[in-house]
Amino acid sequence: MWVPLHAVCLRSQRVCRLSVAAAVSQCFRHRDASVSHFSLLAGLSAQTCKALVYRTHGDPSRVVQLEGVALPSLGAKDVLVKVLAAPINPSDINMIQGTYAILPDLPAVGGNEGVAQVVEVGSQVKSLKAGDWVIPKDAGLGTWRTQAVLPEDDVISVPNDIPLVSAATLGVNPCTAFRMLSDFEDLNPGDSVIQNAANSGVGQAVIQIAAARGINTINVIRDRPEFTELSDKLKAIGASHVIKEEALRKHEIKELFKTCPKPKLALNGVGGKSATELLRHLQIGGSMVTYGGMSKQPVTVPVSALIFKDVKVRGFWVTQWKRDHSHDGRAFRAMLDELCSLIKQGKLTAPACTEVGLQQYHAALDAAMQPFSSTKQVLVM
Protein backbone atom coordinates (compact mmCIF):
# COMPACT_ATOMS: atom_id res chain seq x y z
CA MET A 1 0.00 0.00 0.00
CA TRP A 2 1.07 3.58 -0.55
CA VAL A 3 0.23 4.26 3.09
CA PRO A 4 0.80 1.22 5.28
CA LEU A 5 -0.89 3.09 8.12
CA HIS A 6 -4.40 2.06 7.41
CA ALA A 7 -6.38 -0.83 6.07
CA VAL A 8 -8.94 -0.36 3.33
CA CYS A 9 -12.35 -1.26 4.69
CA LEU A 10 -14.71 -2.73 2.12
CA ARG A 11 -17.79 -1.63 3.95
CA SER A 12 -20.15 -2.48 1.14
CA GLN A 13 -19.02 -6.11 1.40
CA ARG A 14 -18.67 -6.19 5.21
CA VAL A 15 -15.01 -7.14 4.81
CA CYS A 16 -12.29 -5.22 6.60
CA ARG A 17 -8.58 -5.86 7.02
CA LEU A 18 -7.17 -5.26 10.50
CA SER A 19 -6.96 -1.57 11.35
CA VAL A 20 -3.96 -0.12 13.11
CA ALA A 21 -5.56 3.22 13.95
CA ALA A 22 -6.49 2.19 17.49
CA ALA A 23 -2.98 1.07 18.27
CA VAL A 24 -1.64 4.33 16.92
CA SER A 25 -3.92 6.32 19.20
CA GLN A 26 -2.66 4.39 22.22
CA CYS A 27 0.95 5.08 21.31
CA PHE A 28 0.28 8.76 20.65
CA ARG A 29 0.04 9.65 24.33
CA HIS A 30 3.66 8.53 24.80
CA ARG A 31 4.97 11.04 22.30
CA ASP A 32 5.04 14.81 21.95
CA ALA A 33 1.53 15.97 21.12
CA SER A 34 2.85 18.24 18.39
CA VAL A 35 3.96 15.22 16.33
CA SER A 36 1.37 13.57 14.09
CA HIS A 37 0.48 10.15 15.49
CA PHE A 38 0.91 8.76 11.96
CA SER A 39 4.64 8.78 12.68
CA LEU A 40 4.29 6.05 15.28
CA LEU A 41 3.33 3.54 12.64
CA ALA A 42 6.84 3.83 11.31
CA GLY A 43 8.40 2.53 14.50
CA LEU A 44 11.55 4.47 15.25
CA SER A 45 12.13 5.64 11.68
CA ALA A 46 13.48 9.17 11.50
CA GLN A 47 12.74 9.63 7.80
CA THR A 48 9.56 11.58 7.13
CA CYS A 49 7.44 12.75 4.26
CA LYS A 50 4.61 15.22 3.77
CA ALA A 51 1.07 13.91 3.33
CA LEU A 52 -2.48 15.20 3.03
CA VAL A 53 -4.22 13.58 5.99
CA TYR A 54 -7.85 13.45 7.10
CA ARG A 55 -9.04 12.11 10.45
CA THR A 56 -12.79 12.51 9.96
CA HIS A 57 -15.12 12.45 6.99
CA GLY A 58 -16.53 15.74 5.75
CA ASP A 59 -15.83 18.72 3.53
CA PRO A 60 -12.35 18.09 2.06
CA SER A 61 -11.38 21.75 2.37
CA ARG A 62 -12.00 21.50 6.12
CA VAL A 63 -10.86 18.04 7.12
CA VAL A 64 -7.72 17.58 4.97
CA GLN A 65 -4.46 18.81 6.48
CA LEU A 66 -0.84 18.76 5.31
CA GLU A 67 1.22 16.93 7.91
CA GLY A 68 4.57 15.28 8.46
CA VAL A 69 4.38 11.49 8.40
CA ALA A 70 7.21 9.13 9.32
CA LEU A 71 8.17 6.37 6.89
CA PRO A 72 8.53 2.75 7.97
CA SER A 73 11.77 0.88 7.47
CA LEU A 74 12.33 -0.70 4.06
CA GLY A 75 11.49 -4.41 4.13
CA ALA A 76 13.00 -7.08 1.93
CA LYS A 77 10.00 -7.07 -0.42
CA ASP A 78 9.29 -3.33 -0.20
CA VAL A 79 10.17 -0.36 -2.35
CA LEU A 80 10.77 3.24 -1.32
CA VAL A 81 9.16 5.59 -3.83
CA LYS A 82 9.02 9.32 -4.38
CA VAL A 83 5.55 10.33 -5.51
CA LEU A 84 5.83 12.57 -8.57
CA ALA A 85 2.23 13.55 -9.27
CA ALA A 86 -1.25 12.57 -8.14
CA PRO A 87 -4.60 13.83 -9.47
CA ILE A 88 -7.69 14.77 -7.51
CA ASN A 89 -10.53 12.59 -8.82
CA PRO A 90 -14.23 12.58 -7.87
CA SER A 91 -13.68 9.26 -6.08
CA ASP A 92 -11.02 10.89 -3.90
CA ILE A 93 -13.47 13.61 -2.89
CA ASN A 94 -16.20 11.04 -2.20
CA MET A 95 -13.86 8.98 -0.01
CA ILE A 96 -13.05 12.02 2.12
CA GLN A 97 -16.74 12.87 2.34
CA GLY A 98 -17.47 9.30 3.41
CA THR A 99 -19.82 8.52 0.52
CA TYR A 100 -17.70 6.19 -1.65
CA ALA A 101 -18.19 2.42 -1.95
CA ILE A 102 -14.89 1.71 -0.19
CA LEU A 103 -13.55 3.79 2.67
CA PRO A 104 -10.13 3.60 4.35
CA ASP A 105 -9.98 3.37 8.09
CA LEU A 106 -9.23 6.72 9.69
CA PRO A 107 -6.90 8.50 9.92
CA ALA A 108 -6.03 8.19 6.24
CA VAL A 109 -4.09 9.87 3.45
CA GLY A 110 -6.08 11.02 0.41
CA GLY A 111 -5.61 9.99 -3.19
CA ASN A 112 -6.29 6.83 -5.21
CA GLU A 113 -4.17 7.46 -8.27
CA GLY A 114 -0.76 8.82 -9.18
CA VAL A 115 2.74 8.01 -10.41
CA ALA A 116 5.86 7.54 -8.33
CA GLN A 117 9.53 6.88 -8.98
CA VAL A 118 11.31 4.03 -7.25
CA VAL A 119 14.17 5.34 -5.10
CA GLU A 120 15.30 2.15 -3.35
CA VAL A 121 14.31 -1.53 -3.42
CA GLY A 122 14.43 -4.24 -0.79
CA SER A 123 16.79 -7.18 -1.07
CA GLN A 124 14.14 -9.57 -2.40
CA VAL A 125 12.46 -7.24 -4.89
CA LYS A 126 12.64 -8.76 -8.37
CA SER A 127 10.37 -6.78 -10.71
CA LEU A 128 11.46 -3.20 -9.96
CA LYS A 129 14.64 -1.17 -9.76
CA ALA A 130 15.62 2.36 -8.80
CA GLY A 131 14.42 4.85 -11.40
CA ASP A 132 11.34 2.88 -12.47
CA TRP A 133 7.97 4.61 -12.56
CA VAL A 134 5.08 2.84 -10.85
CA ILE A 135 1.34 3.36 -10.37
CA PRO A 136 -1.00 1.74 -7.79
CA LYS A 137 -2.66 -1.55 -8.57
CA ASP A 138 -5.68 -0.76 -6.38
CA ALA A 139 -7.69 2.13 -4.97
CA GLY A 140 -7.55 3.51 -1.46
CA LEU A 141 -3.78 3.62 -1.22
CA GLY A 142 -3.19 7.25 -0.28
CA THR A 143 -1.18 8.87 -3.07
CA TRP A 144 -1.29 12.47 -1.85
CA ARG A 145 2.11 12.35 -0.22
CA THR A 146 5.72 12.95 -1.15
CA GLN A 147 7.14 9.50 -0.37
CA ALA A 148 6.01 6.01 0.62
CA VAL A 149 7.35 2.60 1.53
CA LEU A 150 5.09 -0.06 0.02
CA PRO A 151 5.09 -3.71 -0.96
CA GLU A 152 6.40 -4.51 -4.42
CA ASP A 153 3.14 -6.31 -5.23
CA ASP A 154 0.99 -3.21 -4.61
CA VAL A 155 2.31 -1.32 -7.63
CA ILE A 156 2.90 -1.94 -11.31
CA SER A 157 5.50 -0.34 -13.55
CA VAL A 158 4.82 2.05 -16.41
CA PRO A 159 7.27 3.57 -18.91
CA ASN A 160 9.17 6.58 -17.60
CA ASP A 161 9.33 8.17 -21.04
CA ILE A 162 5.66 9.14 -21.27
CA PRO A 163 4.36 12.55 -20.11
CA LEU A 164 4.17 12.87 -16.34
CA VAL A 165 0.50 13.88 -16.32
CA SER A 166 -0.39 10.97 -18.62
CA ALA A 167 1.27 8.54 -16.21
CA ALA A 168 -0.35 10.14 -13.16
CA THR A 169 -3.84 9.85 -14.67
CA LEU A 170 -3.42 6.46 -16.36
CA GLY A 171 -4.86 4.08 -13.80
CA VAL A 172 -8.51 5.20 -13.57
CA ASN A 173 -10.07 6.99 -16.56
CA PRO A 174 -8.15 5.41 -19.47
CA CYS A 175 -8.49 1.96 -17.89
CA THR A 176 -12.23 2.50 -17.41
CA ALA A 177 -12.61 3.57 -21.05
CA PHE A 178 -10.47 0.68 -22.30
CA ARG A 179 -12.43 -1.99 -20.45
CA MET A 180 -15.86 -0.62 -21.39
CA LEU A 181 -14.86 -0.57 -25.06
CA SER A 182 -13.44 -4.10 -24.81
CA ASP A 183 -15.62 -6.16 -22.50
CA PHE A 184 -19.30 -5.58 -23.28
CA GLU A 185 -19.81 -5.62 -27.07
CA ASP A 186 -17.80 -7.00 -29.96
CA LEU A 187 -16.88 -3.71 -31.61
CA ASN A 188 -15.29 -3.64 -35.04
CA PRO A 189 -13.98 -0.78 -37.21
CA GLY A 190 -16.97 1.18 -38.50
CA ASP A 191 -19.19 0.36 -35.51
CA SER A 192 -20.56 3.14 -33.32
CA VAL A 193 -20.57 3.99 -29.61
CA ILE A 194 -22.70 6.71 -28.02
CA GLN A 195 -21.76 8.34 -24.72
CA ASN A 196 -22.81 11.19 -22.46
CA ALA A 197 -20.35 13.17 -20.32
CA ALA A 198 -18.16 13.09 -23.40
CA ASN A 199 -15.93 15.91 -22.17
CA SER A 200 -15.08 14.08 -18.91
CA GLY A 201 -11.79 12.29 -18.37
CA VAL A 202 -13.38 8.95 -19.20
CA GLY A 203 -15.22 10.46 -22.17
CA GLN A 204 -12.06 11.87 -23.70
CA ALA A 205 -10.27 8.55 -23.25
CA VAL A 206 -13.19 6.74 -24.91
CA ILE A 207 -12.99 9.09 -27.89
CA GLN A 208 -9.27 8.52 -28.39
CA ILE A 209 -9.19 4.75 -27.83
CA ALA A 210 -12.21 4.29 -30.09
CA ALA A 211 -10.65 6.45 -32.81
CA ALA A 212 -7.47 4.36 -32.67
CA ARG A 213 -9.64 1.28 -33.27
CA GLY A 214 -11.63 2.84 -36.11
CA ILE A 215 -14.84 3.04 -34.06
CA ASN A 216 -17.24 5.97 -34.46
CA THR A 217 -18.18 7.93 -31.36
CA ILE A 218 -21.36 9.95 -30.89
CA ASN A 219 -20.55 12.30 -28.07
CA VAL A 220 -23.26 14.00 -26.04
CA ILE A 221 -22.51 17.09 -23.94
CA ARG A 222 -24.63 19.69 -22.17
CA ASP A 223 -25.37 22.91 -24.01
CA ARG A 224 -23.15 25.81 -22.90
CA PRO A 225 -21.90 29.14 -24.28
CA GLU A 226 -18.61 27.57 -25.36
CA PHE A 227 -20.27 24.55 -27.01
CA THR A 228 -18.64 25.13 -30.39
CA GLU A 229 -15.19 25.50 -28.86
CA LEU A 230 -15.60 22.32 -26.81
CA SER A 231 -16.99 20.45 -29.80
CA ASP A 232 -13.96 21.43 -31.86
CA LYS A 233 -11.62 20.22 -29.10
CA LEU A 234 -13.33 16.85 -28.90
CA LYS A 235 -13.25 16.45 -32.68
CA ALA A 236 -9.55 17.33 -32.64
CA ILE A 237 -8.87 14.28 -30.46
CA GLY A 238 -10.96 11.98 -32.63
CA ALA A 239 -14.67 12.49 -31.89
CA SER A 240 -16.79 11.53 -34.89
CA HIS A 241 -19.86 13.51 -33.83
CA VAL A 242 -20.56 15.94 -30.98
CA ILE A 243 -24.17 16.79 -30.17
CA LYS A 244 -26.13 18.53 -27.42
CA GLU A 245 -28.31 16.61 -24.97
CA GLU A 246 -31.50 18.03 -26.42
CA ALA A 247 -30.54 16.87 -29.92
CA LEU A 248 -31.16 13.26 -28.89
CA ARG A 249 -34.90 13.87 -29.33
CA LYS A 250 -34.74 16.02 -32.44
CA HIS A 251 -34.67 15.35 -36.14
CA GLU A 252 -30.92 15.89 -36.42
CA ILE A 253 -30.19 12.58 -34.67
CA LYS A 254 -32.17 10.79 -37.36
CA GLU A 255 -30.11 12.57 -40.00
CA LEU A 256 -26.93 11.52 -38.22
CA PHE A 257 -27.92 7.85 -38.37
CA LYS A 258 -28.24 8.06 -42.16
CA THR A 259 -24.46 8.24 -42.35
CA CYS A 260 -23.46 6.54 -39.11
CA PRO A 261 -24.68 3.15 -37.88
CA LYS A 262 -26.76 3.03 -34.73
CA PRO A 263 -24.57 2.29 -31.72
CA LYS A 264 -24.00 -1.16 -30.30
CA LEU A 265 -22.78 0.36 -27.05
CA ALA A 266 -23.89 3.28 -24.89
CA LEU A 267 -21.69 4.58 -22.07
CA ASN A 268 -23.49 6.40 -19.29
CA GLY A 269 -21.70 8.63 -16.80
CA VAL A 270 -24.67 10.87 -15.99
CA GLY A 271 -27.82 8.85 -15.24
CA GLY A 272 -31.34 10.26 -15.18
CA LYS A 273 -33.01 11.37 -18.43
CA SER A 274 -29.68 11.46 -20.22
CA ALA A 275 -29.24 7.71 -19.75
CA THR A 276 -32.79 7.01 -20.91
CA GLU A 277 -32.16 8.98 -24.09
CA LEU A 278 -29.00 6.98 -24.82
CA LEU A 279 -31.00 3.75 -24.54
CA ARG A 280 -33.48 4.93 -27.17
CA HIS A 281 -30.79 4.98 -29.83
CA LEU A 282 -29.12 1.62 -29.21
CA GLN A 283 -29.24 -1.13 -31.77
CA ILE A 284 -31.43 -4.12 -30.97
CA GLY A 285 -29.55 -6.23 -28.45
CA GLY A 286 -27.09 -3.44 -27.64
CA SER A 287 -25.65 -2.65 -24.21
CA MET A 288 -25.71 0.41 -21.99
CA VAL A 289 -22.91 0.46 -19.42
CA THR A 290 -23.19 2.85 -16.48
CA TYR A 291 -19.94 3.90 -14.82
CA GLY A 292 -20.99 7.16 -13.14
CA GLY A 293 -23.97 9.21 -12.02
CA MET A 294 -23.14 12.89 -12.29
CA SER A 295 -26.83 13.89 -12.21
CA LYS A 296 -27.40 11.87 -9.01
CA GLN A 297 -30.59 10.60 -10.65
CA PRO A 298 -31.49 6.92 -11.10
CA VAL A 299 -31.32 5.15 -14.44
CA THR A 300 -34.83 4.53 -15.81
CA VAL A 301 -35.19 1.82 -18.43
CA PRO A 302 -38.31 1.92 -20.62
CA VAL A 303 -40.15 -1.39 -20.73
CA SER A 304 -40.25 -1.16 -24.53
CA ALA A 305 -36.44 -1.09 -24.67
CA LEU A 306 -36.28 -4.34 -22.74
CA ILE A 307 -39.08 -6.14 -24.59
CA PHE A 308 -38.73 -4.97 -28.16
CA LYS A 309 -35.00 -4.12 -28.33
CA ASP A 310 -33.68 -6.61 -25.77
CA VAL A 311 -31.11 -4.09 -24.55
CA LYS A 312 -28.65 -5.07 -21.85
CA VAL A 313 -28.15 -2.71 -18.91
CA ARG A 314 -24.85 -3.19 -17.11
CA GLY A 315 -22.59 -1.41 -14.66
CA PHE A 316 -18.81 -1.06 -14.48
CA TRP A 317 -16.35 -0.15 -11.72
CA VAL A 318 -12.69 -0.30 -12.64
CA THR A 319 -11.66 -0.94 -9.02
CA GLN A 320 -13.69 -4.14 -8.97
CA TRP A 321 -12.23 -5.19 -12.33
CA LYS A 322 -8.70 -4.78 -10.94
CA ARG A 323 -9.56 -6.83 -7.88
CA ASP A 324 -11.20 -9.55 -9.95
CA HIS A 325 -7.97 -9.85 -11.97
CA SER A 326 -5.50 -9.41 -9.12
CA HIS A 327 -4.69 -13.14 -9.03
CA ASP A 328 -3.28 -12.93 -12.54
CA GLY A 329 -1.72 -9.63 -13.54
CA ARG A 330 -1.43 -10.41 -17.25
CA ALA A 331 -4.69 -8.70 -18.25
CA PHE A 332 -3.79 -5.53 -16.33
CA ARG A 333 -0.27 -5.57 -17.76
CA ALA A 334 -1.54 -6.03 -21.32
CA MET A 335 -4.02 -3.16 -20.92
CA LEU A 336 -1.37 -0.78 -19.56
CA ASP A 337 1.02 -1.75 -22.34
CA GLU A 338 -1.58 -0.99 -25.00
CA LEU A 339 -2.56 2.31 -23.39
CA CYS A 340 1.08 3.39 -23.03
CA SER A 341 1.69 2.47 -26.66
CA LEU A 342 -1.17 4.79 -27.68
CA ILE A 343 0.32 7.54 -25.49
CA LYS A 344 3.72 7.16 -27.14
CA GLN A 345 2.10 7.30 -30.58
CA GLY A 346 0.33 10.53 -29.65
CA LYS A 347 -3.07 8.84 -29.95
CA LEU A 348 -3.99 9.11 -26.26
CA THR A 349 -3.40 12.28 -24.27
CA ALA A 350 -4.37 13.23 -20.74
CA PRO A 351 -7.36 15.56 -20.24
CA ALA A 352 -6.66 19.21 -19.57
CA CYS A 353 -4.88 19.42 -16.22
CA THR A 354 -3.80 22.14 -13.82
CA GLU A 355 -0.60 21.24 -11.98
CA VAL A 356 -0.61 22.45 -8.38
CA GLY A 357 2.08 22.20 -5.71
CA LEU A 358 1.26 20.15 -2.64
CA GLN A 359 1.32 23.29 -0.47
CA GLN A 360 -1.54 24.73 -2.54
CA TYR A 361 -3.82 21.76 -1.82
CA HIS A 362 -6.65 23.94 -0.48
CA ALA A 363 -7.02 25.74 -3.81
CA ALA A 364 -6.72 22.45 -5.69
CA LEU A 365 -9.44 20.78 -3.62
CA ASP A 366 -11.76 23.77 -4.02
CA ALA A 367 -11.24 23.77 -7.79
CA ALA A 368 -11.76 20.00 -8.05
CA MET A 369 -15.12 20.29 -6.30
CA GLN A 370 -16.55 22.85 -8.68
CA PRO A 371 -19.38 21.33 -10.76
CA PHE A 372 -18.53 20.53 -14.37
CA SER A 373 -14.92 21.59 -13.91
CA SER A 374 -13.10 21.76 -17.24
CA THR A 375 -9.65 20.81 -15.93
CA LYS A 376 -8.36 18.12 -13.60
CA GLN A 377 -6.29 19.23 -10.62
CA VAL A 378 -2.98 17.36 -10.33
CA LEU A 379 -0.82 17.63 -7.22
CA VAL A 380 2.84 17.79 -8.19
CA MET A 381 5.29 16.88 -5.48
The ranges assigned to domains in the chain are: 48-169+351-380, 173-320
How far apart are alpha carbons 3 and 380 in whole angstroms?
18
How confident is the prediction along the chain (381 residues), in pLDDT tens digits per residue?
454 444 444 444 433 333 334 333 333 333 333 333 343 343 444 589 999 999 999 999 999 999 999 999 999 999 999 999 999 999 999 999 999 989 999 999 999 999 999 999 999 999 999 999 999 999 888 999 999 999 999 999 999 999 999 999 999 999 999 999 999 999 999 999 999 999 999 999 999 999 999 999 999 998 888 899 999 999 999 999 999 988 888 888 888 998 999 999 999 999 999 999 999 999 999 999 999 988 889 999 999 999 999 999 999 999 999 999 998 889 999 999 999 999 999 999 999 999 999 999 999 999 999 876 678 999 999
CA distance 18 to 243: 49
**Distance, CA of 294 to CA of 220 (rounded, Å):** 14
Confidence (pLDDT) at 16: 37
3-state secondary structure (DSSP) of residue 42: helix
54 catalytically annotated: no
Predicted pLDDT at 372 = 65
Three-class SS of residue 327? Answer: coil
Q: Residue 7: its pLDDT value, please?
A: 40
214: amino acid identity, one letter = G
CA-based torsion, 123, 129, 130, 135: positive or negative? negative
Largest CA-CA distance found in the chain, in angstroms, rounded: 74
Look at residue 135 and give its three-state secondary structure: strand
Query: How many Å apart are CA 29 and CA 39, to the nearest integer?
Result: 13
- pLDDT for res 2: 56
User: What is the distance between the terminal CA atoms of the chain, rounded to a whole angstrom?
Assistant: 19
CA gap 346, 176 in Å, rounded? 19
CATH 3.90.180.10 fits 48-169+351-380, yes or no: yes
pLDDT at 44: 40
Instruction: Supply the pLDDT for residue 249.
Output: 84
User: What does the alpha-carbon distance between residue 146 and residue 151 come to, in Å, rounded to a whole number?
Assistant: 17
**Per-residue CA distances from 283 to 164, 185, 230, 257 (Å):** 39, 11, 28, 11
Q: What is the DSSP letter of 13?
A: G
C-alpha–C-alpha distance, residues 50 and 134, integer Å:
19
- Environment class of 258 (CB within 10 Å of its CB; exposed 0-12, middle 13-18, buried 19+): exposed
- Asked whether the bond before 351 is cis by omega within 30 degrees of 0, the reply is no
Q: Beta strands 155-158 and 133-136: pairing type?
A: antiparallel
The fold for domain 173-320 equals: Rossmann fold (3.40.50)
153: nearest Cα among 317, 24, 339, 332: 332
